[in-house]
Amino acid sequence: MPNLTVQSKESSVDVNGAQSDNSAVVQHNPTSSGPTSVSRVEDAPRQRSIKQLGVARPSLLRQRLELQRLVGEISTKFINLPAEGINQHICEALGQLAQFLGFDRAAINKFSGQRDASPVTHIWTAAGLPSFAPIFAEDNLPWLTKRLAQGHEVHLPDVDTLPPAAQKDRETCQRYDVQSAYHWPLRAGTDVIGSWALISIGEKRPFPDKFPEGLQLFGQIMASAL
Protein backbone atom coordinates (compact mmCIF):
# COMPACT_ATOMS: atom_id res chain seq x y z
CA MET A 1 0.00 0.00 0.00
CA PRO A 2 1.60 3.36 -0.96
CA ASN A 3 2.55 5.90 1.67
CA LEU A 4 0.10 8.75 1.99
CA THR A 5 0.92 12.38 2.61
CA VAL A 6 -1.97 14.70 3.41
CA GLN A 7 -1.81 18.46 3.28
CA SER A 8 -4.07 20.23 5.71
CA LYS A 9 -5.02 23.83 6.36
CA GLU A 10 -6.68 24.36 9.70
CA SER A 11 -8.08 27.21 11.72
CA SER A 12 -8.07 26.89 15.47
CA VAL A 13 -7.95 28.75 18.76
CA ASP A 14 -4.81 28.08 20.77
CA VAL A 15 -4.52 27.76 24.53
CA ASN A 16 -3.86 31.50 24.74
CA GLY A 17 -7.07 32.28 22.88
CA ALA A 18 -5.34 33.36 19.65
CA GLN A 19 -6.91 32.48 16.29
CA SER A 20 -4.65 30.68 13.84
CA ASP A 21 -4.94 29.68 10.20
CA ASN A 22 -1.90 27.57 9.54
CA SER A 23 -0.86 25.51 6.58
CA ALA A 24 0.96 22.43 7.80
CA VAL A 25 2.07 19.00 6.78
CA VAL A 26 0.46 15.87 8.15
CA GLN A 27 1.70 12.40 7.30
CA HIS A 28 0.35 8.91 7.40
CA ASN A 29 2.71 6.00 7.01
CA PRO A 30 0.80 2.71 7.15
CA THR A 31 3.88 0.54 6.82
CA SER A 32 7.14 0.15 8.67
CA SER A 33 9.24 -0.19 5.54
CA GLY A 34 10.79 3.27 5.70
CA PRO A 35 10.30 7.02 5.91
CA THR A 36 7.38 8.74 4.27
CA SER A 37 8.22 11.42 1.72
CA VAL A 38 6.63 14.73 2.60
CA SER A 39 5.49 17.50 0.29
CA ARG A 40 6.04 20.88 1.87
CA VAL A 41 3.35 23.53 1.79
CA GLU A 42 3.75 27.27 2.12
CA ASP A 43 4.93 28.51 5.49
CA ALA A 44 2.43 30.43 7.55
CA PRO A 45 3.17 32.98 10.25
CA ARG A 46 3.22 31.50 13.72
CA GLN A 47 0.24 32.19 15.91
CA ARG A 48 0.40 35.49 17.73
CA SER A 49 0.21 35.15 21.48
CA ILE A 50 -2.54 36.72 23.52
CA LYS A 51 -0.02 39.23 24.85
CA GLN A 52 0.86 40.36 21.33
CA LEU A 53 -2.81 40.76 20.52
CA GLY A 54 -3.37 42.90 23.59
CA VAL A 55 -6.28 40.73 24.76
CA ALA A 56 -6.91 39.48 28.28
CA ARG A 57 -5.81 35.87 28.87
CA PRO A 58 -8.78 33.51 28.89
CA SER A 59 -9.62 31.85 32.18
CA LEU A 60 -8.50 28.32 32.94
CA LEU A 61 -12.13 27.21 32.96
CA ARG A 62 -12.64 28.60 29.47
CA GLN A 63 -9.49 26.87 28.23
CA ARG A 64 -10.64 23.55 29.64
CA LEU A 65 -14.07 23.97 28.09
CA GLU A 66 -12.48 24.80 24.72
CA LEU A 67 -10.32 21.68 24.90
CA GLN A 68 -13.30 19.58 25.95
CA ARG A 69 -15.24 20.89 22.98
CA LEU A 70 -12.34 20.22 20.61
CA VAL A 71 -11.84 16.64 21.82
CA GLY A 72 -15.58 16.04 21.65
CA GLU A 73 -15.69 17.20 18.03
CA ILE A 74 -12.73 14.97 17.16
CA SER A 75 -14.47 11.98 18.74
CA THR A 76 -17.83 12.69 17.10
CA LYS A 77 -16.31 12.90 13.63
CA PHE A 78 -15.02 9.32 13.92
CA ILE A 79 -18.56 7.95 14.35
CA ASN A 80 -19.70 8.16 10.74
CA LEU A 81 -16.29 8.43 9.12
CA PRO A 82 -15.60 5.97 6.27
CA ALA A 83 -12.61 3.71 6.78
CA GLU A 84 -10.57 5.48 4.13
CA GLY A 85 -10.89 8.78 6.01
CA ILE A 86 -9.71 7.59 9.42
CA ASN A 87 -5.97 8.09 8.93
CA GLN A 88 -6.42 11.63 7.64
CA HIS A 89 -8.67 12.49 10.57
CA ILE A 90 -6.12 11.12 13.04
CA CYS A 91 -3.45 13.37 11.54
CA GLU A 92 -5.74 16.37 11.55
CA ALA A 93 -6.72 15.68 15.17
CA LEU A 94 -3.06 15.61 16.19
CA GLY A 95 -2.61 18.99 14.54
CA GLN A 96 -5.68 20.49 16.19
CA LEU A 97 -4.55 19.44 19.65
CA ALA A 98 -0.92 20.49 19.09
CA GLN A 99 -1.95 23.93 17.88
CA PHE A 100 -4.37 24.41 20.76
CA LEU A 101 -1.62 23.63 23.28
CA GLY A 102 1.11 25.47 21.39
CA PHE A 103 3.28 22.57 20.24
CA ASP A 104 5.15 22.23 16.93
CA ARG A 105 4.73 18.52 16.32
CA ALA A 106 2.44 15.68 17.37
CA ALA A 107 2.81 12.04 16.50
CA ILE A 108 1.55 8.51 17.03
CA ASN A 109 3.69 5.41 16.82
CA LYS A 110 2.69 1.75 16.99
CA PHE A 111 4.80 -0.94 18.60
CA SER A 112 5.58 -3.69 16.13
CA GLY A 113 7.70 -5.91 18.35
CA GLN A 114 10.50 -5.73 15.79
CA ARG A 115 13.78 -4.01 16.52
CA ASP A 116 14.24 -0.76 14.56
CA ALA A 117 10.74 -1.09 13.13
CA SER A 118 8.36 0.69 15.52
CA PRO A 119 6.94 3.14 13.00
CA VAL A 120 5.57 6.60 13.51
CA THR A 121 2.30 5.96 11.68
CA HIS A 122 0.76 9.44 11.96
CA ILE A 123 2.47 12.82 12.39
CA TRP A 124 1.55 16.49 12.22
CA THR A 125 4.25 19.13 11.82
CA ALA A 126 3.77 22.88 12.05
CA ALA A 127 4.39 24.94 8.93
CA GLY A 128 7.97 26.05 8.44
CA LEU A 129 9.56 23.07 10.18
CA PRO A 130 11.42 20.26 8.42
CA SER A 131 9.71 16.93 7.96
CA PHE A 132 10.46 14.08 10.33
CA ALA A 133 11.42 10.60 9.17
CA PRO A 134 8.51 8.48 10.45
CA ILE A 135 10.49 5.74 12.16
CA PHE A 136 10.48 5.39 15.94
CA ALA A 137 13.62 3.28 15.98
CA GLU A 138 14.54 1.47 19.17
CA ASP A 139 18.20 2.02 18.37
CA ASN A 140 17.67 5.79 18.29
CA LEU A 141 15.37 6.11 21.32
CA PRO A 142 15.99 2.91 23.30
CA TRP A 143 15.34 4.28 26.81
CA LEU A 144 12.16 6.09 25.81
CA THR A 145 10.83 3.13 23.81
CA LYS A 146 11.35 0.76 26.75
CA ARG A 147 9.59 3.07 29.21
CA LEU A 148 6.59 3.56 26.94
CA ALA A 149 6.31 -0.14 26.12
CA GLN A 150 6.12 -0.78 29.87
CA GLY A 151 3.13 1.57 30.06
CA HIS A 152 4.88 4.58 31.60
CA GLU A 153 4.22 8.19 30.64
CA VAL A 154 7.44 10.05 29.81
CA HIS A 155 7.34 13.83 30.24
CA LEU A 156 10.45 15.82 29.31
CA PRO A 157 10.17 19.60 29.86
CA ASP A 158 13.89 19.71 29.05
CA VAL A 159 15.41 16.81 27.12
CA ASP A 160 18.84 17.72 28.52
CA THR A 161 17.65 16.31 31.86
CA LEU A 162 17.37 12.79 30.46
CA PRO A 163 19.24 10.31 32.68
CA PRO A 164 22.71 9.03 31.73
CA ALA A 165 21.12 5.76 30.57
CA ALA A 166 19.26 7.76 27.90
CA GLN A 167 22.35 9.22 26.23
CA LYS A 168 21.33 7.85 22.81
CA ASP A 169 17.85 9.32 23.23
CA ARG A 170 19.35 12.71 24.11
CA GLU A 171 21.52 12.66 20.99
CA THR A 172 18.49 11.88 18.82
CA CYS A 173 16.51 14.75 20.34
CA GLN A 174 19.42 17.14 19.81
CA ARG A 175 19.70 16.07 16.18
CA TYR A 176 16.07 17.12 15.57
CA ASP A 177 16.29 20.18 17.87
CA VAL A 178 13.66 18.72 20.19
CA GLN A 179 13.63 20.79 23.38
CA SER A 180 10.57 19.39 25.17
CA ALA A 181 8.60 16.19 24.56
CA TYR A 182 5.65 14.61 26.33
CA HIS A 183 4.74 10.99 25.61
CA TRP A 184 1.76 8.88 26.65
CA PRO A 185 1.26 5.12 26.07
CA LEU A 186 -1.72 4.02 23.98
CA ARG A 187 -3.60 1.03 25.32
CA ALA A 188 -6.03 -1.50 23.89
CA GLY A 189 -7.43 -3.07 27.03
CA THR A 190 -4.41 -3.96 29.15
CA ASP A 191 -2.01 -4.08 26.17
CA VAL A 192 0.23 -1.16 25.22
CA ILE A 193 -0.07 -0.86 21.44
CA GLY A 194 1.89 2.33 20.89
CA SER A 195 2.27 5.89 22.12
CA TRP A 196 1.43 9.46 21.21
CA ALA A 197 3.45 12.59 21.80
CA LEU A 198 3.45 16.38 21.84
CA ILE A 199 6.82 17.87 20.88
CA SER A 200 8.31 21.36 21.02
CA ILE A 201 11.05 22.24 18.52
CA GLY A 202 13.60 24.97 19.15
CA GLU A 203 12.24 26.11 22.52
CA LYS A 204 11.27 24.53 25.79
CA ARG A 205 7.60 24.27 26.66
CA PRO A 206 6.14 23.24 30.03
CA PHE A 207 3.93 20.24 30.52
CA PRO A 208 0.25 21.07 29.86
CA ASP A 209 -0.77 19.94 33.35
CA LYS A 210 -3.97 22.00 33.39
CA PHE A 211 -5.71 19.54 31.06
CA PRO A 212 -5.26 15.98 32.45
CA GLU A 213 -8.78 14.80 31.62
CA GLY A 214 -8.72 16.17 28.08
CA LEU A 215 -5.33 14.64 27.32
CA GLN A 216 -6.36 11.27 28.73
CA LEU A 217 -9.55 11.25 26.68
CA PHE A 218 -7.67 12.24 23.53
CA GLY A 219 -5.31 9.29 23.99
CA GLN A 220 -8.22 6.91 24.45
CA ILE A 221 -9.84 8.18 21.25
CA MET A 222 -6.62 7.75 19.28
CA ALA A 223 -6.06 4.22 20.61
CA SER A 224 -9.60 3.24 19.63
CA ALA A 225 -9.11 4.66 16.12
CA LEU A 226 -5.96 2.71 15.33
pLDDT digits (tens, 9 = 90+) for 171-191: 999 988 999 999 999 999 989
- Structural domain total, the chain: 1
Sign of the Cα pseudo-torsion (118, 121, 125, 130, in order): positive
CA–CA separation, 208 and 167 (whole Å): 25
**Secondary structure string (H, E, C) spanning 180-226:** EEEEEEEEECCEEEEEEEEEEECCCCCCCCCCHHHHHHHHHHHHHHC
Q: Are 154 and 147 in contact (CB under 8 A)?
A: yes
Domain around 101: 4-225
Over residues 117-147, the pLDDT tens digits come to 567 889 999 999 987 765 555 678 889 988 9
CATH number for the domain including 181?
Answer: 3.30.450.40
Residue 56 DSSP one-character state: P
pTM above 0.85, yes or no: no
Report the run of H or E that residue 139 belongs to, with start and end.
none
